[in-house]
Structure 1
Amino acid sequence: MLRARDRPRLWQGAFAVVGWAALGLQYLLMIGPAEVEAMPSLTVNFFSYFTILTNLLAALALTAPLVRADSRLGRWGANVHVRAALAMYIAVVGLTYHLLLAHVWAPQGLAWLANSLLHYVMPAAFVLDWLMFTPKGHLRWIDAVRWLAFPLIYVMWTVLHGFTSGWWPYWFVNVEQLGWGRTGFWAAAMLGLFLAVGLAVVGLDRLMGRAGRDTGARPA
């Protein structure tokens, strides 16, 4: 019988494999039969998707504590603030794809598989991992604001990269097509979504932490 303390490791190990496999498959599909000289720019574009960056961080956070728990990367992956922030980011990945991108993108075959893993399976798996296995009761409301730093830096990179390369990862951040006003609206809306999800994460953390203390149980 599987012991209770082994369940997190089994869950995290399984979805670490899923996450890395999905990232690898998506990269191969994006590179395709490209010429060697095109690979550097395609690789930069690949890592310019918020979906890719967030899934990469999530895969690292699942993997590192299992492989080297006592390493700096292992401690980073196990940190309750890091795991909560990643739960927020990857939840927004799933929500944004479903609400803003699914209607303009209909992948088939292996592309459908990679897309589903990155936008649905991994967001659900990581949020559930945070809910089930990450200790609760350690977050403050200000954390939800601090976590906005990553998407803000991403927006700045996207604009800089977009104007220098002419390539934009998402239609709602394409300044050249939408103009600054409409792009600014979408950027503000997205930051509002990040903040709302972040506040929900903090609220759940505090609620579950309080419930655990009231019952005398260890935080979930």
Structure 2
Amino acid sequence: MDWSRAALIWRGVFAVVGWASVGLYYGLTISGLTPAETATRTLHFFSFFTIQTNLLVAVALTLPLIGVRTRPGRWASSEGVRAGVTMYAVVVGLVYHFLLHATWNPQGLYQVANIGLHYVMPVAILIDWLVFTPNGRLRWIDAGKWLAFPLIYSGWLLLLGAVSGWYPYWFIDVAELGLGRTLLNLCGLLAFFGVVGLTVVAIDRTLGRRDRTAASA
């Protein structure tokens, strides 16, 4: 089987799905709004971790198609980037399913976009990482490096909430929970990111040892 061709097809299909899911959700979000309302809703839309992560996933799937030998293509194809993006996407799917799913019941096209963002794309990038990304090159410290994105994001949410009073998720709503409880929730979420990151590294190293054993057999 031509794995390089299979990878291109897989990434092409799900790059389209990823961009389409974000675009559909955004279009539905701003439909019928005034320009002022659109500006506010756009800021809110792109402040969701789900949206930012799905944009990263779409970029990670698209750039290798444009040119794996270009600097952006090499960046997106690197094992650390693909594993980190996979980790973020897996967390999106798990947090949505176990913490947020019960609080929202989208219908129609909203449901189509919701399934794409929270289920299809996390699974797609996970399979991409497991099947098409070289294994055995990650280090344990990479799990710590991947925490930079959620840390910066958490700071942005606290700043945005302090200025506007709007929070995208109930478990970081300072107005409702208080700063202490919110910070505790954020620490717990960061710890969860760390655990998932360490799991990703462990899987990578296990698959790498398996591949080296198979190659030497």
Structure 1 length normalisation: TM-score?
Answer: 0.95
- The residue aligned with 1:154 is 153
The answer to whether the aligner puts 1:18 opposite 2:6 as a matched pair is no
Distance in 2, matches of 1:114 and 1:166, equals: 27
- Residue matched to 2:97: 98
Partners of 2:137 and 2:123 in 1: CA distance: 22
Q: Which residue identity is paired with 1:135?
A: P
The residue number in structure 1 matching 2:212 is: 213
Corresponding residue SS for 2:178: helix
Contact 2:3 2:132 (C-alpha < 8 Å) held by counterparts: no
**What residue in structure 1 maps to residue 86 of structure 2?**
87
Does 2:65 align with 1:63?
Answer: no
Q: Specify the alignment match of 1:29 in structure 2.
A: 28
Q: Which residue of 1 aligns with 2:7?
A: 8
Map of 1:88-167 to 2, 5 A cutoff? 88-167=87-166
Q: Deviations over 1:4-30 (max 9, x none)?
A: 331111111000000000000010111
Deviation of 1:85 (Å): 0.3
* Separation in structure 1 between the aligned mates of residue 174 and residue 132 of structure 2, nearest angstrom: 40
- Measured after TM superposition, the shift of residue 68 of structure 1 is 2.4
Deviation at residue 188 of structure 1 after TM alignment:
1.3
How much has 1:52 moved relative to structure 2? 0.3
Report the alpha carbon displacement of residue 106 of structure 1 after superposing the two structures with TM.
0.5
Asked whether the equivalents of residues 48 and 168 of structure 2 are also in contact (C-alpha less than 8 Å), the reply is yes
Match of 1:204, SS?
A: helix
> How far off is 1:70 after superposition?
2.5
- Which residue identity does 2:169 align to in structure 1? Y
CA shift, 1:3, in A, is 3.3
Q: Aligned letter for 1:162?
A: G
Once residues 42 and 73 of structure 1 are traced to their aligned partners in structure 2, the CA distance between those partners, rounded to angstroms, is 30
How many equivalent residue pairs?
216
Equivalent residue for 1:177?
176
The 4+ residue runs of structure 1 with deviation greater than 3 A are none
**1:216 counterpart SS class:** helix
* Worse-superposed segment, 16-25 or 158-167: 158-167
The TM-score with structure 2 as length reference comes to 0.96
Q: What does residue range 45-56 of structure 1 map to in structure 2 within 5 Å? A: 45-56=44-55
Deviation, 1:200, is 0.5
Return 5+ residue gaps in structure 1 as ranges: none
Shift of 1:77: 1.0
User: Secondary structure of the equivalent of 1:20?
Assistant: helix
> CA-to-partner distance for each residue in 1:75-128, whole Å, 9 max, x for gaps?
111111000000100000000001110000000000011111100010011111
Query: What is the percent sequence identity of the aligned residues?
Result: 51
Deviations for 1:118-162, whole angstroms, at most 9, x for unmatched residues?
Answer: 000100111111000100111111110111110000000001011
Task: Give the distance between the partners of 2:71 and 2:124, measured in 1 at CA.
Answer: 24
Cα distance, 1:71 vs structure 2: 2.4
Alpha-carbon distance in structure 2 between the residues aligned to 1:125 and 1:64: 16
